[in-house]
Chain A
Amino acid sequence: MTAAGLLRIEGLSVEFGSGDNLARVLNDVAFEMKPRETLGIVGESGCGKSMTALAIMRLVPNPPGRISAGRIVLGGEDLLQATDARMRDIRGNRIAMIFQEPMTSLNPVFTVGSQIAESLTLHLGLSGAAARARGVELLKAVGIPSPEQRFDAYPHQLSGGMRQRVMIAMAIACEPELLIADEPTTALDVTVQAQIFDLLRSIQQARGMGLILITHDMGVIAEMTDRVVVMYGGRVVEQGATRDVLARPAHPYTRGLVACVPTLEMDGDGEPADLPEIPGVVPSIWELQTGCPFADRCNVVLPWCRQEMPAATLIGVAHWVACWQRQEGRP
């Protein structure tokens, strides 16, 4: 599996600040992806999902942040050892990313066409008519009507859903091996959300990309992903094949999430429901705790949960959980 893998992350830690203000925003994060796989990252606000994506891109804001440990291996190459020039070559070309907010992700003073063409020029050396032809093709591929005209449109002339399609067109311009979508539909209407997910899925299948889908929504995880990584407080608390994790959630936090999946699709006001209420609050990242970050909210907490973080234990086929309840013995 290692040799054929697309992406392997080992022991990834990201810290902000220093001294008394040190905050470990990611702590020993590890997961793997195979080519063509869709991996979901789920967890509540502030648990480090976006930071994981930025770390893969090596775009953790520095200062104050820094990647303090770990390896991020893309197709055999450790990105944390790559030079800045090499990283610029990889970004947009082998790894692409789309953001949550399509309204602000496009530069307001240039046409969408010129922004799509930029990536083509940067990585494939296309320019002029060739870049335009390829750009129009991409707009067509993401389902934008009359792509010839839209190529010359300014971002403010397009709706949110159209802009997110443009972002997707930009992201897939150079046929990346890996596409990271960070909550790509949060800012969109429900009907448009479904369309964007359909588009992502068909594009991923057609082009054989790996897809990392970051979301709050267990319904999206269930529908879209092959594997899921559940994060809490900067750590991976459980990961495995999506159907295994949904069928046999092992971590108390995952169980809380999964308990609500059937009702998750829509709640009363037609909005997709957010994560269910789990009593307690997320611990402040500013306190560097030694034990399990979920301990204070856990309903099956053991005395030693607060002292030491349990290691990830294999509990099924490629299904890991980091919980003392599933460990043999105690520290």
Chain B
Amino acid sequence: MSANSRPAHGEHPTREALRMFARSPVAVVGFALLGAIVALALLGPMLMPADPFDIVAAPLSPPSFQEALLGTDQQGRDVLTGIVHGGRATLAVGLSAALVSVLIGITVGAIAGFFGGTIDEILMRVTEFFQVLPALLFSMVLVTLFTPTLMTIALSIGAVSWTATARLTRAEFLKLKELDFVAAEHVIGAGKGRIIWGVILPNALPPLIVSATFAIGTAILFEASLSFLGLGDPNRMSWGLMIGSSRSYILSSWWAVTFPGCMIFLTVLAVSLIGDGLNDALNPKLRERR
């Protein structure tokens, strides 16, 4: 197994994609940015153990070095502590909502694309139904039906945002299922489940990984929208909740909304940059290998 004796084109596809990813400046910036945000969310609360719901100063105090570095909101809560503590909830909702959306999307798309015919017809009608549904409104309905917790918020965001992944997966499956190596798999007697999940899906992964990355960004924005409309979990500090609770004071006290807004913006930007980088690294590779 002398890796260095192999010709360059014989490099493992995954490793080559990683190398291309690491070479793209956009991807590296996105990765560094997201790394910093994740580190802040994970480690910050330990460094600033204060309760983000505690009142520390007069309501709506502007940023100052004496009291609150980034100011306080309309209840006198520290914006900086809120930002440090709110990252976990925002990222957790973003990740789990994206996971839910990708899982539903891949399952629906894979089954539709693989089986075709009536099954495809029905699943695609369902997908269209969810696609024309006003997503924000529908997830608002879902969240209000259940109590808004991180879990129900993630589920309701996932439940309205899977259609693009489903279409992408279906298209990949339609293309891949005709290929010889899939026929070869039928020929050795492999079952349908194994062919769907173990043979076709791994080949469809590159574009799906890219789409899953973008799904995280979308889900974070979604969570912010829900919180802004007052449908977030009121007991967990999140950036969306901070914006939502201070939204009436945006003109008089810009800091209470702007700082958490910047965090959301930076996070979504980082995720999109990574998605772009992955797209560049994975897609040309995909075309070259077929």
A152–B199 Cα distance when bound, in Å, is: 18
Cβ of A123 within 8 Å of any chain B Cβ, yes or no, is yes
Please give the distance in Å from B27's CB to the nearest CB on chain A.
22
Q: Are B179 and A104 within 8 A (Cβ)?
A: yes
Other-chain residue from A63, A106, A149 in contact with B181 (beta carbon distance below 8 A): A106
Chain B binding site: helix, strand, loop or mixed by DSSP? helix
Q: Are A122 and B189 within 8 A (Cβ)?
A: yes
Q: Are B189 and A88 within 8 A (Cβ)?
A: yes
Please give the distance in Å from A137's CB to the nearest CB on chain B.
18
Other-chain residue from A63, A101, A119, A156 in contact with B188 (beta carbon distance below 8 A): A119
Q: Are B202 and A101 within 8 A (Cβ)?
A: no
CB proximity to B under 8 Å, residues A83-107: 87-93, 96-97, 99, 101, 104-107
Tier of interface size on chain A: 20 to 34
> Quick one: given A91-B186, A106-B184, A170-B188, are A149 and B289 in contact (CB under 8 Å)?
no
Q: Are A156 and B9 within 8 A (Cβ)?
A: yes
Tier of interface size on chain B: 20 to 34
Please give the distance in Å from A154's CB to the nearest CB on chain B.
7
| Contact partners of B183 in chain A: CB under 8 A | 59, 99, 105
Q: Are A59 and B186 within 8 A (Cβ)?
A: yes
Please give the distance in Å from B254's CB to the nearest CB on chain A.
51
Other-chain residue from A88, A99, A108 in contact with B191 (beta carbon distance below 8 A): A88
Cβ of A167 within 8 Å of any chain B Cβ, yes or no, is yes
Q: Are B13 and A109 within 8 A (Cβ)?
A: yes
Q: Are B188 and A92 within 8 A (Cβ)?
A: yes
Other-chain residue from A87, A105, A149 in contact with B1 (beta carbon distance below 8 A): A149
Please give the distance in Å from A102's CB to the nearest CB on chain B.
9
Cβ of A118 within 8 Å of any chain B Cβ, yes or no, is yes
| Contact partners of A167 in chain B: CB under 8 A | 184
Q: Are B13 and A59 within 8 A (Cβ)?
A: no
Cβ of B144 within 8 Å of any chain A Cβ, yes or no, is no
Closest to A102 in B: B180
Binding site for A on B (CB under 8 A): 1, 6, 9-10, 12-13, 117, 179-181, 183-191, 199, 202-203, 289-290
* 11 cross-chain CB contacts under 8 A: A92-B187, A93-B189, A99-B180, A99-B184, A107-B185, A107-B203, A109-B13, A119-B188, A122-B188, A152-B1, A154-B10
Binding site for B on A (CB under 8 A): 57, 59, 63, 87-93, 96-97, 99, 101, 104-110, 118-119, 122-123, 149, 152, 154, 156-157, 167, 170
- What 10 pairs across the A-B complex have the smallest Cβ distances? A92-B188, A91-B189, A92-B189, A104-B180, A88-B189, A157-B10, A105-B180, A107-B181, A119-B188, A97-B187
